[in-house]
Amino acid sequence: MSTHNQGTELDLSWISKIQVNHPAVLRRAGQIQARRPVKKEWQAAWLLKAVTFIDLTTLSGDDTSCNVQRLCYKAKYPIREDLLKALNMHDKGITTAAVCVYPARVCDAVKALKAVGCDIPVASVATGFPAGQTHLKTRLEEIRLAVEDGATEIDVVISRTLVLTGQWEGSDFIKTSTGKETVNATFPVAIVMLRAIRDFFWKTGNKVGFKPAGGIRSAKDSLAWLSLVKEELGDEWLKPELFRIGASTLLSDIERQIYHHVTGRYAAYHDLPMS
């Protein structure tokens, strides 16, 4: 996703003048986290919306074609059909936004999605994920191979060296973290990123997408992230083209919460075996 936006001359002079009011950012983050979530039908509707923003992810060293196939099936059928029927949403074509895998597993994902008749994008991490400490030639080749295998979105690991020395470039999306760090997606950092997106849009007219990733595991968390994006950037950012949530276990909790909403009881493990 983090590919250079060729359409606008990148004027970075204003970046050097930016100052962050840290106490104010922390207060704003606290407000978001302390807010009571919506209930009942409204909550179910927002949770289903959250599903459509998920980049359903597996980035494990022991990934195989089998677990990628399972991931893709879940991306196509994220919520049990009887639960969707109970909500009258079974015919809305609800899927996750994409699946996200290592470059070596892109072929498996493309094949699996085709087998279940699903046309959602295959995203791939590349460029020396997660550290990004590989030669530029290697990084570019990794992107080329992933695209050649069928990936249509690339999560590029930026060079921290360039960032720390102020050598910025543009992008289509910005992402909080790789998800492999000790600290990943946090609300204070997200607020700063979202306001930078807003400022950039006001200055250039270009919309940059946002993807929090890492540590987003609960349905309640997903509602807080949707609320934050809605309040900071508006409804026009609440679409998969401009907002994604990178997660591997979040979908399971969303399905459990929807199960509880529909049935009035919490699911046992065997009730949601694909979660």
Give the per-residue pLDDT at 38: 73
Whether 211 sits among the annotated catalytic residues: the reply is yes
Looking at every residue in the chain, the average pLDDT score rounds to 91
Cα separation, 163 vs 235, in Å, equals 30
pLDDT at 275 over 60: no
The one catalytic residue among 74, 207, 211, 220: 211
Cα separation, 73 vs 76, in Å, equals 5
Give the per-residue pLDDT at 27: 94
The one catalytic residue among 175, 180, 220, 239: 175
pLDDT at 105 over 90: yes
Q: What is the DSSP string of 194-223?
A: HHHHHHHHHHHS---EEE-BSS--SHHHHH
122's CB contacts (< 8 A; 6+ apart) are: 98, 99, 100, 101, 106, 109, 110, 113, 150, 151, 152, 153
For the segment 128-150, what is each residue's pLDDT rounded down to a tens digit? 999 889 999 999 999 999 999 99
For the segment 196-227, what is each residue's pLDDT rounded down to a tens digit? 999 999 988 999 999 999 999 999 999 999 99
Give the per-residue pLDDT at 16: 77
Instruction: Indicate the pLDDT class of residue 2, thresholds 50, 70 and 90.
Output: very low
User: Stretch 13-40: mean pLDDT, rounded?
Assistant: 85
Give 2 or 244, the one with higher predicted confidence.
244
Cα separation, 165 vs 223, in Å, equals 36
For the segment 157-210, what is each residue's pLDDT rounded down to a tens digit? 988 888 888 888 878 999 999 888 888 899 999 999 999 999 999 988 999 999
Give the per-residue pLDDT at 9: 65
pLDDT at 3 over 60: no
Cα–Cα nearest to 24, from 188, 232, 195: 188
Give the per-residue pLDDT at 212: 96
117 touches 156 (CB < 8 A) = no
pTM passes above 0.85: yes
For the segment 50-82, what is each residue's pLDDT rounded down to a tens digit? 999 999 999 999 999 999 999 999 999 999 999
Helix axes 187-204, 219-233, angle to 10 degrees: 30
Give the per-residue pLDDT at 14: 79
User: Stretch 117-124: mean pLDDT, rounded?
Assistant: 96
Instruction: Indicate the pLDDT class of residue 271, thresholds 50, 70 and 90.
Output: confident
What phi and psi, each to the nearest 5 degrees, are found at residue 175? -125, 140
- For residue 124, give the 3-state DSSP assignment: strand
Structure tokens at 138: 């290697």
Instruction: Indicate the pLDDT class of residue 274, thresholds 50, 70 and 90.
Output: low
Whether 17 sits among the annotated catalytic residues: the reply is no
Give the per-residue pLDDT at 267: 85
User: Stretch 82-93: mean pLDDT, rounded?
Assistant: 94
